Structure 1
Amino acid sequence: MNSERCVPSSETNIFKMSLADISNKFTEITLTEIIKKAGGTKYTSYKFGEPFKKGDSYLSKVFRISVYGLNENNGKIVEVQLIVKAMPENMTRRKIFRSADFFRNEIKFYTCIIPAWEQFQKRRSPQRPFNQYPNCYASYCDGENDFIALEDVNILGYSSPKRQEYNSMEECMLIMRTLGRFHGVSLAFKALEPEKFEECCMCLEVSPTERETYFAQKYRSWYKDFSKLACVVAQDAIKQTYPAKLSVVSHGDCWTPNFLTRWSPEGKPEATVMIDFQLARFASLALDISFFIYSCTSQILRESHYETLLRTYYESASEMINDLGADPDKVLAWSELLKEMQSMGRFGCGMGIESLPMSMLEDDEVKDLDEITGDATLSDVWDIKPFTCARKRQRLADIFKHAIDLVSQSSVKLEEFTAVLTKISLLPSTVQFRKHSLMILLTRIRFVSRKNCLAHELLAIILKRTFHGSKWMRSWPRMQSAVGIGQIAPYLPHDSRQSFWLSKRFTSPILAALSIIQKSFAVQTH
């Protein structure tokens, strides 16, 4: 049989798409290059796979495609199954999600970072090199026709769990081990070959003086409205990057869909690969860890196994560092990891505000991004509505509880504190609590120590939310007397003691909680 007849013809595609639907620069020349990278000599045909559903990607349009060719030297058929990400056709969507910036960053990750890592590992000859990412077969970057063609690891048995669900403990342990190995390469590279590592990281810079790819000052107009939900915490954390000792090439978007898992016949998670490096940056390793823990685990798991997860990460990173020839005790001490998590852990809470509401959307709640028109903004597209499901509200509120518990030196229990937050979380700002209901809430959390500024700040916010304008001013003295809020001034950051109470910045409990967490760190560290 003629070998070429064993592969489908491009004309028989059941999905009516062409190469130009991907990009004007994705041509048969590209397919020939892909076949040659896979060990063939001649491209013969291609076939599109089933399209992705809306909501699977915001920054790009995504295609499945199989490319077929021959090795004319031995007559063998070559087949390459790919996931190809390309720029959205909708120009407003491109602008809103800064597709060009993030495409450039991911392409640089695959064309600069990965080759440098591979060469470093080749020089160090580890027994278990890190390679838990898809191979890149082709890419193009000009800001208009960008694409990146990656190995489709689904055919190797890897799949993404449903984004609305929590990760199990077994999955979390596997992901923490993978993340430890991922960061371990950077830590060993930086310790053993610092100049080459610095040169490698330079490719992720947005400009010669700015490495931040997401909350950089130059993009403030892009994120300023939406960032009311997240940047109070996240931007502050991201700024603390190079040259911190525990800074690494971080993934930047460590939530469940970006860890594809392979399962054993017994239903156990046995391997994982990392995907989607658009937000890769040089930053504290704690950012990836905290983002994953807060966005993808349940409150029960965090309370019971937080240290176990950190230990799993630490041991995996140490093994990778040792395998590459560096001293893990000098490169990543356990005590330093704990300090890093305490000082940077709020990042995960901040990013949880962004990722969790989006991850909990049902398929029929996801907007069709290609219908975006006109002068829409990021906050128009990521229009987060109040949750009607109590379970979803609880999941979001739980993030704050653990973050506050983590940084607070007080032994006070915060279950009721969280219950209050849950009760008012995500209610429209026009909702007014009746006074007697408010007093019931205040009574329930008066058990909190008067030195616990976190709880008292929340009390003040509840009061402000309930009494606006003249009502607020008339009610303030009685409320202040009732809960003793005046006693907490010494425990607040100085610049907030006067302005905090009368400002109208905080229009929702979520923003309030972000401020609480931010201020708690300020109190702990000053």
Structure 2
Amino acid sequence: MSTITLPFLQDLLKAEYPDVSIEEYEGAPGSKRGDNYTSMVYRITLKGHRNPDTEEKQPWTGSIIYKCLPESILRREAFKSDELFCNEVAFYNKIWPSLSAFQDQWNLAHPFKAIPKCFLAQNDLVILKDLKELGFVMPDRRQGLTVEQCYFVLKHLSHFHALSLAMKCYNPEGFYELLNIQDGISEVFFLSENEEYYRSYYTEAIQNAIAMVEQELQDCPDREKYLARFKSFCSEDTFFQTMVDMVAPREPLAVICHGDCWTNNLLFRYVNGDIAEMYIVDFQLARYSSPALDLAFLLYLCLDRQQRAEHMTSLLEYYTEELHARVTEMSGEHALDRDTLASMIQEEFRESSRFGLGIALDMYPIMTCDSDEAPNLYQAKESEITPSHECVKPVWTSNAACRKKMADLVIELVDEGLL
């Protein structure tokens, strides 16, 4: 946090707190080990006085979130943190201001506002409003989401996606400018040119996943059927290119996706036990692609098999209804009719189910591991002898929860004819 000084903080926050004099600050890790992997997050607590030069002088405290690149050069290179930061900077400096300005033209009764205030975004740091200060909490990554939370997320996600669809209709030139290679968002991971770079990483992740499914299904009479389909999907010759193909945008439904829609990037505020508000954070993996990728990420990673069996159909219908209603508000007669939109969403979601499985290979261990099994981003490892792409390994865990989630997803997709 070498860029942080009192004058820097005072200047940064003067518009938000014009009557405050900041006199002290202190930084501490803003996330637990295992909760993030591509950047370091600090919570900076601030102390000072309101109306410092008057008789009404009062003590004041506040806090902000400071997000920066990992200290380890190897980890930054391995996870392409610099490129991810470029995506997030583009989102806060260009994408969200443009989508928000477009939304404001329509005077919506309930506009989408679930994006945290960003005080500064540049190539090596992002400074955000601290939502914890306002009573927002992040779900436990190992518990996933409740069905109620999932409905709430889908409502906000559909409104976010609708902004892309409506802006493409009314201002296509302005919308596609958001995707330019100079200062727009772009795919970072699943590019054909990255296949060799990530080969050892995904080879190990796949081996771990197959071993867990083999162990979990050892007494299953259809064990070989499930394993054969899973191993075919995980083939070293085709896996990465399959993921590349699935993130490619498909018109006319392609939207700006969040790209990393799981528990650790969702914050909720409760009133009397009910969800009152939520925010979506971390746009490093924002991509232009099918909205079904965000849906697959959310539903296959954050819900368990029983939740999906009982609620998947109604959840997708709810998302479609909200998406259609919001696009219609902003596009009127230009919007797709509800039945056509529903059919397209269903088709793209089925096609994206394998994307959910591909992400799960990497994410299920991250979501279920103990903190001490996760890498410590706040401890720099500067042995620069080993190439970065060989140094950083996927999280390995063989706990019962991870084995069950992985096997359940394989069984689910095979039984539904999706794998």
Query: Is the TM-score greater than 0.5?
Result: yes
| 1-structure distance, mates of 2:311, 2:86 | 37
Q: Distance in 2 between matches of 1:239 and 1:292?
A: 20
In structure 1, how many angstroms separate the alpha carbons of the residues matched to 2:130 and 2:411? 39
The aligned residue for residue 242 of structure 1 is 249
Cα offset for 1:301?
0.9
1:178 to 156, 169, 181: 156
Q: Secondary structure at the match of 1:324?
A: helix
Tell me the distance in 2 between the aligned counterparts of 1:270 and 1:407.
38
Change in Cα spacing, 1:245 to 1:238, as seen in structure 2 (3 Å) is farther
Which residue pairs with 1:101 in the alignment? 83
1:24-56 deviations in Å (ceiling 9; x for gaps): 4x4445323322231416753242254233223
Question: In the alignment, which of 163, 182, 200 is matched to residue 225 of structure 1?
Answer: 200
1:182 partner SS? helix
Q: Of the two, which has the highest radius of gyration? A: 1
TM-superposed CA distance for 1:234, in Å, is: 6.3
Residue matched to 1:261: 268
1:319 maps to: 325
1:346 aligned to which of 343, 354, 370: 354
User: Contact 2:373 / 2:397 at 8 angstroms: preserved in 1?
Assistant: no
1:150, distance to aligned residue in structure 2 (A): 0.5
User: In 2, distance between residues paired with 1:204 and 1:322?
Assistant: 32
- How far did residue 285 of structure 1 move? 0.5
Q: C-alpha displacement at 1:140, in angstroms?
A: 2.4
Alignment of 1:69-80 (within 5 A): 80=62
CA distance in 1, matches of 2:182, 2:414: 33
Render the CA deviation track for 1:175-225: whole Å, top value 9, x for unaligned. Answer: 111211111111111122211111123268789xxx321122343343222
* SS of aligned partner of 1:329: coil
Residue 396 of structure 2: aligned partner: 385
2:116 corresponding residue in structure 1? 134
Secondary structure of 2:369's counterpart equals coil
Aligned twin of 2:214: none
Q: Distance in 2 between matches of 1:248 and 1:235?
A: 21
Cα RMSD after superposing both structures: 2.8
For 2:106, which of 118, 121, 124 is the aligned residue? Answer: 124
59-68 or 371-380, which deviates more: 371-380
Q: Is the 8 A contact 1:234 1:346 kept in 2?
A: no
Structure 1 residue aligned with 2:226? none
1:45 has 2:51 as partner: no
Q: Is the contact between residue 137 and residue 151 of structure 1 (CA under 8 Å) also seen in structure 2? A: yes
Q: 1:46 to 1:405 in 2, by over 3 A?
A: farther
Q: Distance in 2 between matches of 1:203 and 1:128?
A: 32
Return the offset for 1:89.
1.9
Residue 303 (structure 2) aligns with: 297
Determine if contact 2:89/2:121 at 8 Å carries over to the other structure.
Answer: yes
Partner of 1:521: none
What per-residue deviation string (whole Å, max 9, x for no partner) do you get for residues 356-396 of structure 1? 11111111222324353332645653344351x33431111
> How do 1:1-150 residues align onto structure 2 when only pairs under 5 Å count?
22-24=1-3, 26-40=4-18, 43-48=21-26, 50-52=28-30, 53-67=32-46, 68=48, 80-141=62-123, 146-150=124-128
Task: Give the match's secondary structure for 2:396.
Answer: coil
Which runs of 5 or more structure 2 residues have no equivalent in the other structure?
Answer: 207-233
Q: Hey, what's the Cα distance between the residues in 2 that align with 1:233 and 1:191?
A: 34
Give the SS at the match of 2:14: helix
Matched residues in 2 for 1:309 and 1:188: separation? 22
Tell me if the contact between 2:119 and 2:127 (Cα under 8 Å) persists in the aligned partners: yes
Inter-CA distance 206–151: structure 2 relative to 1 (3 Å threshold): closer
Residue 51 and residue 333 in structure 1: after superposition, are their counterparts in 2 closer, same or farther (change >3 A)? same
2:374–2:395 Cα contact (<8 Å) kept: no
Distance in structure 2 (CA, Å) of the matches to 1:23 and 1:317: 43
Are residues 1:154 and 2:132 paired?
A: yes
Q: Which runs of 5+ in 1 are unaligned?
A: 1-21, 409-516, 518-526
3-state SS of paired residue (2:42) = strand
* Residue correspondences, number: 378
Deviations 1:311-337 (A, max 9, x none): 121122223223334454348711111
Larger helix proportion, structure 1 or 2?
Answer: 1
- Report the residue type matching 2:93 in the other structure: T
What TM-score, normalized to structure 2? 0.81
Q: Is the 8 A contact 2:78 2:389 kept in 1?
A: yes
Question: How far apart are residue 235 of structure 1 and its match?
Answer: 4.7
Partner of 2:407: 397
Q: What pairs up with 1:468-487 in 2 under 5 angstroms?
A: none
User: Residues 59 and 196 (structure 1 numbering): CA distance in 2 closer, same or farther, change over 3 Å?
Assistant: same
Paired-residue identity, %: 29
Query: What displacement does 1:71 show?
Result: 6.5
Corresponding letter in the other structure for 1:290: A
Give TM-score, length-normalised by structure 1.
0.66
